[in-house]
Chains A and B, each alone.
Chain A
Amino acid sequence: MELKPKGKISMEDELLVLRRKVQNRWEAPPVEETLRRILLRLPFSLDAYRSLEEKTKLLDAALEQGNGDAILSNRWEAPPVEETLRRILLRLPFSLDAYRSLEEKTKLLDAALEQGNGDAILSLPELNNLLESLGRSREASIIQFNLAMRGVDNARTNPSRSQRVLNSLRNCLASHFSNGAAEMDRPFIVNAIKLFEWQMAADEKFKSMKGESSAEECTLGLAALATLSHSCRYHWEGNKPKSGVTDPLSPSALCQSLGISQRAYQWTALKVKAQEHNWEAGWFQGIRLIGGGSGAPMADVAAELHSQGAPEDVVVRYINLVEGIEERIALANRLQCYNAAIDIMKSQGDRLGIIKLKSRLPTGSEGELYAELILRSSTIRWKN
């Protein structure tokens, strides 16, 4: 920094200024001035801010300004929270002893939660208790849960740890989601645990069925619907007569246990069965339930079956369930089920429609020949 005074100044004035500076050496300069120096990276000192009031004022002003450096460089009695969090994050030694007042503790936790790097912090019992004692249970719980869920992800590559993961989930539920604001999320944690238990059992069963475990068929860590796909593949009840005892690994048992919606169940089953090219007509009738009568999903079902390579008659069955003649014809055309489109038009006596479609089809194609045949028929009463 330049030490010369700005502009012209007499020696006496300068002396006055300097004397005042020396006298004020131990008095805290205005916070704005200090924050400005920090922002501009000029030399500064925070030593003079000694009382809690001064410190609070400085900190508040720094927060207001969004001046992160000032917050960080502040040498409070307790180390700045960011400093401590950083140490925790990087697994360096640290101490929490200095955070004595409730205010300091809250700040530490706020910062910890905001950083969202709770894994290191919350593995520490003292911080955990702190969160609870401050009534921040919901946030603390969510982070604790996140930590436990990472274990679930890891269990996929390392199934031998699954029992430990399960225990940590159960602990998490018991200690974090049993009361307070976090209780609203309790059902989800309960289900996460049920799902994990189911996955452990299913993988065990798969191993005993096939005599070996397969990484591809491992369900640990999968989402509920992906797990349901596994269940549909390997524990399908199909049209088997019910023996009275439900297999706990069956899709319906899984759905019931987790509260998976009927809609999600049917879509999942549809996809799996279509992939298996299992077009059990009787079963797919169940799909009717999807959408509760509105037309669109039926079209989606037909499109899905078509994309999975279902035979035309299967696809057509679903096209015919679509509400509205126009929609049916459009869908049949889109899915290249021309014979079906022609049949629908035939039933409407729409001769012109058939002629129009025929003109678009390649000569000699199956659809074209069929159209020709229908148009020649003398038994149909045409409306146009």
Chain B
Amino acid sequence: MIYPAEACYHSVMDSLKEISQRKLVDILDRIPGKKDLVIDPALMKPLDKITGVNMLRAHGVEKIHKMEKSEVISSCSSLVFLVYADLITAKHVVDQVQASRQRDSKLLYHLVLVPCGLLPINQLIEEEGLYGIVNVHVFAWELIPIDSHVLSFEIPHLYRTCFLNGDYSLLKSVAKSLWSLQMVFGKIPLVLSLGKLSKIVQNMVSGHFEDFGKPDVAVNKIGYMVIMDRSIDYTSSLLTSVTYTGLLDEVFGIKCGAVEFGKDVTGKANPVTYQLSSKDEIYNEIKNKHFADVYPTLKTRAKELEAHFAQLKAADLNTLKHHIKNEIRIVMTKRQSLSYHIGACEGIIGSMGGKYQELQNVEENIVRGRSKKESILYIENCLARQMSYTLALRLISLLSITEGWLTYDEVGSLKSQFLHAYGYKHLVTFHNMEKVGLFSTPTPSSSSAFGGVGDIANRVVQVVSLPKTNTFRLVAQKLKLFPDGNNVQDLKDPSAMGYVFNGLYIPLVCQLVHLLLKKEPKSVIEEQLKSVPGPSLWSEEVLMGSQSSNRARVVLVVVIGGVTQAEIGALQLLEKLTNSRIIIAGTSMLNGNLLMQQLVQS
């Protein structure tokens, strides 16, 4: 089904890209003469999505260097550093400038910060005596379209700075980008924000409408916005998704909508960066499919293609000519796409194959709150065999979040075994996990083997406080995040969002969007959200009678801290089921492994 205003959304999405492009070009144009560009390697992929080498060249860029430790020698009049705004990176730039000035005092230096300026960086430049020598610019890019209706702000370190370090400097950029998005799409009449950071962002956005202006656009193209902190629903980022894209991300890692395939997948000597796009017919068909159904689909398509080639063999000259002229390119692209996806499937089976079913069972047991001992045993086996540390941490976190009743000894023993396998330095990782709410240490019981000082008072407290109310279960029950077990559904042809986790769990944000689309009254939704930890904020524009009932069935979902492929898959299914349009945005794309990596002290 094609949504009536489909084309319109595509063009508006493209306009976000154009605004970013314009902003970058403006900065480059403000720097006179030829310049060399030194780019933070982490910025390469997002920049590819915004601009190309040709465009940079057209605006005076001579050479493009990756920023490394060694200093860049430039023959141009200006040297432009393009980096993420981060004090340490800025210090590296400053060091390079100092070194370069020893040799060539005529060169002009520019520092372009993404996505915002930071006061400490300006102070650093002043202190190093480089004020007026290094010119600071800010490149506040807009949300970057990754695929159709999927946007990303591509600030992966936002999770760490905001959630772990409690440094909110980056939030103002997020707010600004949501403001500019509404300048293009029209002001969103109903906004629901969930969590502390989301509330801050929403308040900033409201402020921006007062200060920077409101959109002229008469029609509100987007009817609803939901902003949520990642910390509200960690479960969706810890569980293993069963969709094709989810597993692709799990095994190969999707970066900025592209995935790097090695020799085993492509059969080519050099790794190939493959852009995942819904415009690719094959990918579009399988992207959200349950993995069990992907291989058969690909096989069918491969057979069709074979049949097509067989037909050609028997075809007469005219048909062949027609084919070569019109179809061959499409067919060849399709063939390549097919072969890559088949290769990727094999890669996924090879990497997950043996453990997949078992892992699914363990995740299911943990989420359903049963067979705790078995789950612990599984984790212990993973640790003993030194399998991936991120997998072990994910399961430990999942257990800690969902099981309100992990004992002090169980926690201590898991921690101890983890430290044996991966090093005592990870004591800090556990501490970080505690800080962000992914792990908790219960109070020691009197029988503790871990040096707890058990006195009677402690024991009494323990007895009295049991059974603990588990927030996870409370929230899940209130919001009906556990799919109905009696209503067994065909996972291959899903009719409910829980399919992304094999019918185990529905991502919280998706359920919330569903409630909004069902036009549940405010009071009902607010009641359901009461159990969710963290503040929620409901801001609604007062609309004229007819307008409110005709609110566009278009939802913008924003996850601060990163959105997961499972959430995207579930929302895209919801879109189909409810005949609505859902635009998904994250401060970055996230999965369980990336989440854990952010918590390991570098």
Contacts and interface: CB of A to CB of B under 8 A. Distances in A.
A315 B7 CA distance: 60
B342 interface: no
A251 B468 CA distance: 41
Contacts of B425: 146, 149, 152-153
8 contacts: A66-B172, A86-B87, A146-B601, A184-B450, A188-B416, A223-B419, A264-B383, A292-B377
Contacts of B431: 139, 142
A33 to B, nearest CB: 12
A29 interface: no
Given A68-B167, A142-B431, A90 B172 contact: no
A26 to B, nearest CB: 26
A72 B119 contact: yes
A175 interface: no
Contacts of A146: 425, 427-428, 601
Contacts, number: 139
Contacts of B211: 36, 39-40
B422 A66 contact: no
Interface in A149-204: 149, 152-153, 183-189, 191-192, 195
B171 interface: yes
B442 to A, nearest CB: 11
Contact of B423 (A64, A223, A268): A223
Contacts of A92: 127
Contact of B424 (A68, A149, A184, A268): A149
Across the A-B interface, the 3 shortest Cβ-Cβ residue pairs: A66-B168, A192-B424, A66-B200
B98 interface: no
Contact of A300 (B169, B385, B432): B385
A259 B127 CA distance: 51
A110 B212 CA distance: 34
A258 B420 contact: yes
Given A188-B427, A263-B381, A267-B385, A68 B169 contact: yes
A183 B201 CA distance: 39
B421 A225 contact: yes
B352 to A, nearest CB: 15
Contacts of B417: 261, 264
Nearest to B419: A188
Contacts of A72: 119-120
B119 A261 contact: no
Contacts of B386: 225, 267
Interface residues of B, number: 53
A297 interface: yes
B384 A90 contact: no
A192 B423 CA distance: 9
| Chain A interface, >50% SS class | helix
A185 B441 CA distance: 11
Interface string B448-490: 0011100000000000000000000000000000000000000
Nearest to A63: B168
A292 B354 CA distance: 21
A374 interface: no
B200 A65 contact: yes
Contacts of A291: 377, 381
A243 interface: no
Interface string B140-179: 0000000000000000000000001111110110000000
Interface string B373-417: 000010011011110000000000000000000000000100111
A114 interface: yes
Given A66-B168, A73-B119, A291-B381, A191 B601 contact: no
Nearest to A146: B428
A86 B123 contact: yes
A188 B423 CA distance: 10
Interface in A118-165: 139, 142-143, 145-146, 149, 152-153
Interface residues of A, number: 59
Nearest to A145: B427
Contacts of B450: 184, 187
A188 B412 CA distance: 10
Given A86-B120, A261-B380, A223 B421 contact: yes
Contacts of A139: 431
A69 interface: yes
Interface string B82-107: 00000100010000000000000000
Of A69, A188, A191, most buried by chain B (CB within 10 Å of CB) is: A188
A73 to B, nearest CB: 6
A36 to B, nearest CB: 7
Contacts of B423: 222-224
Given A68-B167, A86-B123, 5 more contacts: A65-B204, A153-B425, A186-B451, A223-B421, A292-B377
B444 interface: yes
Contact of B172 (A68, A89, A267, A303): A68
Contacts of B167: 68, 114-115
A238 interface: no
Interface in A262-315: 263-264, 266-268, 291-292, 294, 296-297, 300, 303
A115 B165 contact: yes
Nearest to A294: B377
B76 interface: no
Interface string A58-72: 000000111111001
A39 B207 contact: yes
Nearest to B432: A116
A83 interface: yes
B358 interface: yes
B156 to A, nearest CB: 17
Chain A CB within 10 Å — which of B91, B200, B203, B386 has the most? Answer: B386
B197 interface: yes
Given A115-B165, A291-B381, A259 B416 contact: yes
Interface in B543-568: none
B197 A264 contact: no
Interface string B425-436: 101100110000
Interface in B322-343: none
A90 B124 contact: yes
B421 A224 contact: yes
A261 B164 contact: no
A195 B427 CA distance: 15
A305 B358 CA distance: 20
A260 interface: yes
A223 B422 contact: yes
Contacts of A300: 381, 385
Nearest to A68: B169
A82 interface: yes
A195 B424 CA distance: 10
A263 B168 contact: no
A82 B120 contact: yes
B382 to A, nearest CB: 10
A139 B197 CA distance: 23
Contacts of B169: 68-69
Nearest to A258: B420
A72 B169 CA distance: 10
Contacts of A89: 87
Contacts of A224: 419-421, 423-424
A154 to B, nearest CB: 12
Contacts of A296: 358
Contacts of A223: 419-424
Contacts of A261: 380, 384, 417, 420
B427 A142 contact: yes
